[in-house]
A and B are shown apart, each in its own frame.
Chain A
Amino acid sequence: MFIFTSANLKFIMQKKTGKNILQPGKWVSLYADYLFNYAITRVNDHNIAKDLVQETFFSGLKGKDNFRGDASEKTWLISILKRKIIDHYRKINSVKGKKEVRMPFYQEGENRGFWLEERVPQSWDNEAEKKIENQELKMILDLCIDHLPEKHRMVFLLKTQRNFETEEICNELDISSSNLWVIIHRARLQLRECIENNWFKK
């Protein structure tokens, strides 16, 4: 005897209409890893990535009536996650961005844009210190990257570690390319100074 459970009824409906359907009960087993992987490469933090995946599932559930079945379930969930990542980026950009004390590297006024005396790059002339093969140096590099404000670190790592194209990052975070280069510039200024202070000046 053939029993019409809701699951096989859905399957029959899908066959008939050719449309994709949502099966939230299977989301975690089917898509959690995929979505997490997508999120972690962008936000670089295990717990934030996990939260974003969770929020994606919840939003998907809430908005399930908006799913028209033209795209696959997976594509639909990814599009929700993408939106969540933009929201996350905006949040760190506004909340923490305002709290951060802005420490200028360059002068204002008459000599606008020229180095502030106390932030001029010092010479790194110690050749021994320049040797790239060094565990302590690697550790300092990691610490200096961790120390970047999150909004700078996120863009910097997408560009430098994940080798994303400029255009891709602009699309994914909904920022302009000039905005992106300002952020990369800020990140590298801070990174250079941090390496100088902790390695070349120790």
Chain B
Amino acid sequence: MISCDEATAISDKKQYGEATRMERVKLNFHLMLCKHCRAYSMQNNYISRLLSKYLHDSCETDHLVDKEKQELEEKLKIHIKDISKN
């Protein structure tokens, strides 16, 4: 039988739909006999629901502000000058 470490690893993989058929068979067999991993698997499903509800793509609002771009522009200018000197 696979260990709890292996079983929970498969449970995690399953959350993304990427556990193989063989892995799922091994996991289900383990879950029949191990209540701790059963709890883990059920909680894992719950966490996935939580994540899909709350974990939105938030980076779209994050961007460089004009001041940062100006600074970047100035630093780059200095580098361009340095390079054209050499």
**Co-complex (A, B):** yes
**Beta-carbon contact of B50 and A61 below 8 Å:** no
User: B21 near A: Cβ within 8 Å?
Assistant: no
Contact with A along B1-45 (1 / 0, CB 8 A): 011111011001101101000000000000000001001100110
The bracket for how many chain B residues form the interface is 35 or more
User: A40 near B: Cβ within 8 Å?
Assistant: yes
Of B3, B47, B69, B76, which is within 8 A of A113 by CB? B3
CB contact under 8 A between A27 and B3, given known A159-B16, A192-B44: no
A24 to B73, CA, bound (A): 10
Residues of B with C-beta under 8 A to A137: 50
User: A85 near B: Cβ within 8 Å?
Assistant: no
Of A40, A50, A132, which is within 8 A of B50 by CB? A132
A132 to B54, CA, bound (A): 10
Mark out the residues of chain A between 7 and 51 whose CB falls within 8 Å of any chain B CB in the assembled complex: 24-25, 27-29, 32-33, 36-37, 40-41, 44, 46, 49-50
Residues of B with C-beta under 8 A to A66: none
**Beta-carbon contact of A132 and B53 below 8 Å:** yes
**Beta-carbon contact of A185 and B44 below 8 Å:** no
Distance to closest chain B CB from A41 (angstroms):
5
Contact with B along A132-168 (1 / 0, CB 8 A): 1000011001100100000000000101111000100
**Beta-carbon contact of B12 and A46 below 8 Å:** no
User: A195 near B: Cβ within 8 Å?
Assistant: yes
User: A53 near B: Cβ within 8 Å?
Assistant: yes
Mark out the residues of chain A between 90 and 119 whose CB falls within 8 Å of any chain B CB in the assembled complex: 105-106, 112-115
> Could you tell me which A residues sit within 8 Å of B by CB distance?
24-25, 27-29, 32-33, 36-37, 40-41, 44, 46, 49-50, 53-54, 57-58, 61-62, 64, 105-106, 112-115, 120-124, 130, 132, 137-138, 141-142, 145, 157, 159-162, 166, 181-182, 184-185, 188-189, 191-192, 195-196
